[in-house]
Chain A
Amino acid sequence: MAVALVLVLIVVGSVLFHFLSPWWWTPIASNWDYIDNTIIITFWITGVVFAAVVLFMAYCVFRFRHREGNQAAYEPENRRLESWLTVVTAVGVTALLVPGLFVWSRFVNVPSDATEVEVVGQQWQWSFRLPGKDGKLGTSDTRDVNAENPLGVIATDANGQDDVVVEAADLHLPVGKPVKMLLRSIDVLHDFYVPEFRAKMDMIPGSVTYFWFTPTKTGTFQVLCAELCGQGHPMMHGVVMVDTQEDYLAWLGQQQTFAQLSAPQQMGSAE
């Protein structure tokens, strides 16, 4: 009796917790409400299965608990029932998978009008690089990283000269414009994660990874590192500010390009 009751309480409690508890995702600030919708579908399907299985079990425990003189039924198998359950499960799984794959193909195919923004992770801070007027990011190499060139931009690449370098400071993005985040690390694995944007991706030293999104809300968002990167991992916060177009341009105007940053050094060496 008590066992059956507890099983029922687990289901009821879990469902109530799901709907009533204050812990839920942060308000979304990007175009990835597709992902949220997929999660909702998954919650419904899995929730129904969970409740059904546990309640059925509770009923069995209540109804078929041992009493004097009971004898269990003898039923080695029931092919029809098993086939039906298999088919129903397969349908349920397909219902989860198909929307998931559909959204994933959106996630990995970047729209052609997305602006590129480079994020560079290092223990334990974030830096950023935006393409300059030419709209192209210069190539980079970890071997070229030094105190004057913290992001390892290859100095001989003409595309890199006008790149805007934001070292260990806040990133600003214009609202409503798709961005392709190019992710790079110069030491260990990191992961650029803003909970409100839903998207994230690891950054691997030696290669460039990416994801894309469109910020849909202005505001200040906290960047977290989501891949263990040493003991400073939980302190590796950053800030992304999503601005209106004017604010964004104003901010951009104050930033220095790669050429400007490396200019004093060149003058110094010329003297």
Chain B
Amino acid sequence: MVDITPADAVPPAEVAEMELYHPHSWWTKYVFSQDAKVIAIQYSATATAIGMVALVLSWLMRLQLGFPGTFDFITPEAYYQFITMHGMIMVIYLLTALFLGGFGNYLIPLMVGARDMVFPYVNMLSYWIYLLAVLVLVSSFFAPGGPTGAGWTLYPPQAIMTGTPGGQDWGIILMLVSLILFIIGFTMGGLNYVVTVLQGRTRGMTLMRLPLTVWGIFTATVMALLAFPALFVACVMMLLDRALGTSFFMPAIVEMGEQLQHGGGSPILFQHLFWFFGHPEVYIVALPAFGIVSDLISTHARKNIFGYRMMVWAIVGIGALSFVVWAHHMYVSGMHPYFGFFFATTTLIIAVPTAIKVYNWVLTLWRGDIHLTIPMLFALAFIVTFVNGGLTGLFLGNVVVDVPLSDTMFVVAHFHMVMGVAPILVIFGAIYHWYPKVTGRMLNETLGRFHFWITFLGAYLIFFPMHYLGLMGVPRRYNELTDMTIMTESAHHLNSFISIMAFMVGFAQIVFLFNLIWSIRHGREAGGNPWRATTLEWQTPQTPPAHGNFGKDLPIVYRWAYDYSVPGAKEDFIPQNVPGSFAPSREPA
């Protein structure tokens, strides 16, 4: 029984009220808004829009790979521009921006019980700089020579040479400028996310009472703040190499029989800087997904997340370890071979906390009361694809196994499964989960199930067989797989099959977008807490929450975020802001 005793009555919040900026016009309310929720929607919409561009690019690439020679307009130059922009957009402008800028902005203040981010003005600037970065990126499609075709890793020297599309045109310059802008914009947002979690928590919201979503986004943001400077440094130095003729990354080079002016630079220095950012980046995308999926599973299985403490420690541990594994992307880069021993070891160590997280998700299902709602379906699909992609990571992280597999389709399959498909499935699950809070209406169930099945099974059928192409030795970043002795006839058929699957999965996303727009008006009314969840964002007085989130008084937090199916409680959930205590029927061993 939950009994509210006078002893539990705590005086009203002593937290100093923050001054909110009160918008006076439509412009300051919906466009130049300082409300984190509006900024979140702006971030999400922009990220989705640019993500659709990347999706179309992936179709074009699959057209070429699946049906070589059929589509003349996909020249080698165009193909390389497609892969580059697809990769860069998906990793940075979609996944990073959507998880941190979108979900971070929406959920952090609501979940920690704050009225808004701590620096709302800086937060607004963050979005507008992000938008500028996206526009600069898009402008490169229209620049002379087109966007850069250097691959998303932008490895010098080729990234700034004539043999690469955009290398001596505007493409690479616009790419680098756009990244620099993105990093500046992100740093502004990131400061907000971190300091809001540190300083904006409402009364009673100790760190160990935070939902794992907040833990995931918080840790990812801290990592991003420390990792993005590496990309910044690499971009600035490459920009100087390209625009002012310095030689940070450019050794003596003979290009097409001509000696270039450069000399003395180190291409491998760029790789170190890039991957010092690039590997944490993987976890910057993965940790928010870990956090969100924990909450989805717990809520929809009506059971507390199993091993909450382990989950928190694992998030922090993974975050810290991910800074000492970067060179596992460089086993065959020609760096000192003895680094391989160190980085293989650290890489495989990181598998342990990651595995613990997986065990805890499935153990949360054990003896749960599993509601197979759409968010739950996406969470289950996430576990399948994440386990699959994570395990193939053990191939690539284990230095000698990486030797035959690196730079093959195996790598492409691995990272799409683990940091493409898996986090995006979480994003979908999260959208189905929180859409009722954002709009007040549910997404359409039938369209949702259609979207789920096509996306999950389609994506699995795309990327699972692709590993085996890599095992055959098919290299990545080839627009032509003809004239290769290792490519059998059946392998070409497999490629066509993968392409057809890719079009189907892409089509399902259009259905999803339609659902998103249609349900704003026509969805079923959701009420304040349709999933009967415990966390604070579901306890707001209005749905969608008004500016300031919580009405007159901030909520006071009395319990952790996972009081589901508490023995003796009247309902199978107790929101975090409900006072009162109960004696747990048994203390776990």
The answer to whether B368 and A73 have CB atoms under 8 Å apart is yes
- CA of A46 to CA of B61 in the docked complex: distance in angstroms? 30
For chain B, the count of residues having a C-beta within 8 Å of the partner chain is 117
Q: Does B324 contact A (CB under 8 A)?
A: no
B522 at interface by CB-CB < 8 Å: no
Q: Is A166 at the interface (CB under 8 A from chain B)?
A: no
A228 touches B477 (CB 8 A): yes
Note all chain B residues with C-beta closer than 8 A to A105: 341
> Judging by beta carbons under 8 Å apart, are A21 and B365 in contact?
no
Q: Which of B341, B359, B585 contacts A104 (CB 8 A)?
A: B341
From 75 to 110 in chain A, residues with beta carbon under 8 angstroms from any chain B beta carbon are 75-82, 85-86, 89-90, 93, 96-97, 100-101, 103-105, 107-108
Q: Would B254 and A122 count as touching, CB distance under 8 A? A: yes
List chain B residues, Cβ under 8 A from A24.
Answer: 468, 471-472
Q: Is B370 a contact of A61 with CB atoms below 8 Å?
A: yes
A97 to B348, CA, bound (A): 7
- Of the listed stretches A153-161, A189-197, A245-253, name the one at the interface; the rest are far from the partner chain: A189-197
Given A103-B400, A186-B253, A232-B163, A90 contacting B352 (CB threshold 8 A): yes
Contact between A80 and B589, CB atoms less than 8 A apart: yes
- Residue A177 CB within 8 A of the other chain: no
The answer to whether A72 and B332 have CB atoms under 8 Å apart is no
Whole-angstrom CA separation of A25 from B352 in the bound complex: 29
The 8 A CB mask of A150-192 against B (1 = contact, 0 = none) is: 0010000000000000000000000000000001001111010
Residues of A within 8 A of B589 (CB): 78-80
Does A117 sit at the interface, judged by CB under 8 A? no
**Contacts A22-B488, A206-B267, A222-B484 known; A66 to B404 CB distance under 8 Å?**
no
| Closest-CB distance, B494 to chain A (whole angstroms) | 7
Q: Which residues of A contact B155 (CB under 8 A)?
A: 189, 227-228
Q: Is A218 interfacial (CB-CB < 8 Å)? A: no
> Which residues of chain B come closer than 8 Å to A132, judged between CB atoms?
none
Q: Chain A contact residues: over half helix, strand or loop, or mixed? A: mixed
Contact A108-B337, Cβ < 8 Å, known A72-B367, A187-B157, A226-B407: yes
Q: With A and B bound together, what is the CA distance between A136 and B176 in angstroms?
A: 44
Query: Are B352 and A222 touching (Cβ within 8 A)?
Result: no
Among A10, A53, A191, the most chain B Cβ lie within 10 Å of the Cβ of: A53
Known contacts: A75-B588, A108-B340. The answer to whether A64 contacts B76 by CB under 8 A is: no
* Complex contact B254–A142 (CB within 8 A): yes
Contact A93 B383 (CB under 8 A): no
In the complex, which of the residues B302, B365, B464 contacts A60, with contact meaning CB atoms closer than 8 Å? B365
Q: Is B372 touching A231 in the complex (CB atoms < 8 A)?
A: no
A-contacting residues, B367-382, CB 8 Å: 367-372, 377, 380
Q: Which A residues are CB-close (under 8 A) to B150?
A: 228
Q: Is A49 an interface residue (CB 8 A)?
A: yes
B399 touching A104, Cβ below 8 Å:
yes
Interface membership of chain B positions 272-301, coded 1 if the CB is closer than 8 angstroms to chain A and 0 otherwise: 000000000000000000000000000001
CB distance A72 to B302 under 8 Å? yes
Query: Which of B157, B306, B371, B394 lies in contact with A77, CB distance below 8 A?
Result: B306
Tell me whether A200 and B477 are in contact in the complex, defined as CB-CB below 8 angstroms, given that A53-B362, A100-B399, A143-B259 are known contacts. Answer: no
- Check: A26 CB closer than 8 A to any chain B CB: yes
Is A231 touching B334 in the complex (CB atoms < 8 A)?
A: no
Q: Are A39 and B80 in contact (CB under 8 A)?
A: no
Cβ of B471 and Cβ of A56 under 8 Å apart?
no
Q: Determine the distance from Cα of A38 to Cα of B348 in the docked complex, in whole angstroms.
A: 15
Question: B407: which of A25, A76, A77, A200 is its contact (CB, 8 Å)?
Answer: A200
- Return the chain B residue nearest A206 by Cβ: B251
Taken together as a complex, chains A and B put the C-alpha atoms of A42 and B105 apart, in Å, by: 40
| Contact size range, A | 35 or more
- The answer, yes or no, to whether B398 is at the interface (CB within 8 Å) is yes
The answer to whether B365 touches A206 (Cβ under 8 A) is: no
Contact A60–B366 (Cβ < 8 Å): yes
Residues B565 and A73 in contact, CB atoms below 8 Å apart: yes
Encoded as 1 (CB less than 8 Å from any B CB) or 0, chain A from 136 to 147 comes to 000001110111
Nearest chain B residue, comparing its CB with the CB of A230 = B163
CB-nearest residue of chain B to A123: B163
Do the beta carbons of A60 and B404 come within 8 Å of each other? Answer: no
Does A224 sit within 8 A of B, measured CB to CB? yes
A3 within 8 A of B: yes
Question: Does B486 reach chain A (CB closer than 8 Å)?
Answer: yes
Q: Give the chain A neighbours of B360 by CB distance below 8 A.
A: 82
Nearest CB in chain B: distance from A156 CB, A: 18
Interface: B6 (CB within 8 A):
no
Tell me the minimal C-beta distance from B536 to chain A in angstroms: 20
Per-residue contact bits, chain A 197-217, to B (CB 8 Å; 1 contact, 0 not): 011111111110101000000
Name A18's closest neighbour in chain B (CB-CB).
Answer: B468
Instruction: Name A88's closest neighbour in chain B (CB-CB).
Output: B355
Residue of A nearest to B373 (CB): A66
Does A256 touch B at the CB level, under 8 Å?
no
Which residue of the partner chain, among B351, B408, B564, contacts A226 with CB atoms under 8 Å?
B408
Using Cβ atoms and an 8 Å threshold, which residues of chain A touch B149?
Answer: 231
For residue B255, CB closer than 8 A to chain A, the reply is yes
CA distance A203 to B267 in the complex (A): 11
In the bound assembly, the distance between CA atoms of A56 and B365 in angstroms comes to: 10
Asked if B246 lies at the interface with its beta carbon under 8 angstroms from chain A, I say no
Inter-chain contact A70/B584, CB cutoff 8 Å: no
Chain A residues with CB under 8 A of B359: 53, 82, 85
Assess whether B69 is interfacial by the CB under 8 Å rule: no
- Inter-chain contact B368/A100, CB cutoff 8 Å: no
Known contacts A101-B344, A189-B155, A206-B266, A231 near B76 by CB under 8 Å = yes
B contact set with A: CB distance below 8 Å: 76-77, 80, 149-151, 153, 155, 157-158, 161, 163-165, 167, 251-257, 259, 263, 265-268, 301-304, 306-310, 332-334, 337-338, 340-341, 344-345, 348-349, 351-352, 355-356, 358-360, 362-363, 365-372, 377, 380, 383-384, 387-388, 391-392, 394-395, 398-401, 403-404, 406-408, 457, 460, 464-465, 468-469, 471-473, 475, 477-481, 483-486, 488, 490-491, 494, 562, 564-567, 572, 584-585, 588-589
Sample of 6 A–B contacts (CB below 8 Å): A23-B472, A50-B387, A96-B394, A142-B252, A187-B157, A222-B486
